[in-house]
């Protein structure tokens, strides 16, 4: 158990819909990272927040957005969902930016 | 793109040492070598990291060549639970850019 929690564990939805994935970092960690893992793309970094502010951006689509709240939990919002958005979405946290990252168990999103 | 090259797969007999190689010939002076592993669809797990000296922890040892162009992760007594995809990653802890870039990794199969 890494100490990072993610909800929900599974999510099944339809194309065109919007979903929100939630992540609670380890106690004391200020940085939160989001990753997407699909079968053909491997693990792709999406975005990082540090103490409430966006710190780094990776291959995140414009339909996706994220935020980190004052209590340091983070949410990843995915809208206008397409079949290709079906993937595992992982959240990770670290004490400071660029420290060792600890990953949550992931949310498996299926878009039908 | 990942800055590392790893063999796509390896087998190891249970109880023997597993030696996983990684080439990072373009590594720069301030870049660390990190190893993570991912056990079937679970969140990636941090294993170890190093800059230029060899490192050891309770999970593994990391041997970095003197020219830093390659490294080897050693699992001293592999068990069936070590079957996973192992990722070698290089990045600078001083950089504000994308923290982790996962390549395809090495799929290690530990065989009874």
Measured between beta carbons, the chain A residues lying within 8 angstroms of B103 are 42
* pLDDT value for B111: 96
For residues A56 and A31, what is the distance between their CA atoms, to the nearest angstrom? 11
Four-residue CA torsion sign, B19, B53, B31, B39: positive
For residues A64 and A47, what is the distance between their CA atoms, to the nearest angstrom? 10
The H-or-E segment that residue A43 falls in is strand A42-50
Note the pLDDT tens digit of each residue in B5-39: 999 999 999 999 999 999 999 998 888 999 999 99
Under the banding of pLDDT at 50, 70 and 90, the label for residue B1 is: low
Q: How far is B55 from chain A (nearest CA, A)?
A: 15
Q: Which candidate in A23, A39, A54, A98 is best for mutational testing of the B interface (most B CBs within 10 A)?
A: A98
Asked whether residue B94 carries a pLDDT value surpassing 70, the answer given is: no
Average pLDDT for chain B: 91
Comparing alpha-carbon positions, the chain B residue that sits nearest to A47 is B98
| Closest in A2, A42, A56 to B98, CB measured | A56
* pLDDT value for B41: 85
Q: Judge: B41–A45 Cβ closer than 8 Å, yes or no.
A: no
Measured between beta carbons, the chain B residues lying within 8 angstroms of A90 are 43-44
Query: In the predicted model, what is the mean pLDDT of residues B64-75?
Result: 96
- Of B69, B67, B105, B65, the C-alpha closest to B89 is B105
Contact predicate A91/A32, CB 8 Å: yes
For residues A42 and A92, what is the distance between their CA atoms, to the nearest angstrom? 16
Query: In the predicted model, what is the mean pLDDT of residues B50-57?
Result: 93
Please identify every stretch of chain A with a pLDDT value under 70, giving residue numbers as ranges.
Answer: 97-98
DSSP secondary structure, B37-94, as one string: EE-TTSPPEEEEEESSS-EE-SS-EEEE-TTSSEEEEEETT--GGG-EEEEEEEEETT
Strand B70-75: give its sheet, edge to edge. B18-23, B70-75, B61-64, B55-56
Q: Which residues, listed in sequence order, are joined to residue B35 by a DSSP beta bridge?
A: B48, B88
Question: ω into residue A8 within 30 of 0, thus cis?
Answer: yes
| Count of beta carbons in the 10 Å neighbourhood of residue B54 | 12
């Amino acid at each position: 158990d890494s100490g990072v929690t993610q909800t929900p564990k599974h999510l099944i939805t339809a194309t065109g819909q919007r979903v929100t994935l939630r992540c609670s970092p380890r106690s004391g960690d200020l940085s939160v990272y989001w990753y997407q893992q699909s079968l053909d793309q491997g693990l792709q970094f999406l975005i990082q927040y540090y103490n409430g502010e966006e710190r780094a951006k990776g291959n995140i689509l414009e339909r996706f957005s994220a935020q980190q709240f004052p209590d340091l939990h983070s949410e990843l919002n995915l809208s206008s969902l397409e079949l290709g958005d079906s993937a595992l979405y992982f959240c990770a946290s670290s004490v400071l930016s660029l420290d060792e990252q600890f990953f949550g168990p992931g949310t498996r999103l299926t878009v039908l | 793109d990942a800055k590392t090259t790893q063999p796509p797969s390896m087998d190891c007999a249970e109880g023997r040492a597993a030696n996983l190689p990684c080439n990072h010939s373009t590594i720069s002076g301030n870049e660390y070598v990190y190893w993570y592993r991912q056990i079937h669809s679970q969140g990636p797990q941090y294993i170890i990291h190093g800059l230029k000296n060899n490192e050891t922890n309770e999970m593994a040892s990391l041997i970095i060549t003197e020219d830093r162009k390659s490294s080897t992760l050693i699992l001293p007594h592999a068990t069936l639970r070590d079957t996973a995809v192992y990722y070698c990653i290089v990045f600078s802890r001083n950089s504000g850019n994308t923290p982790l870039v996962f390549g395809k990794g090495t799929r290690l199969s530990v065989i009874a």
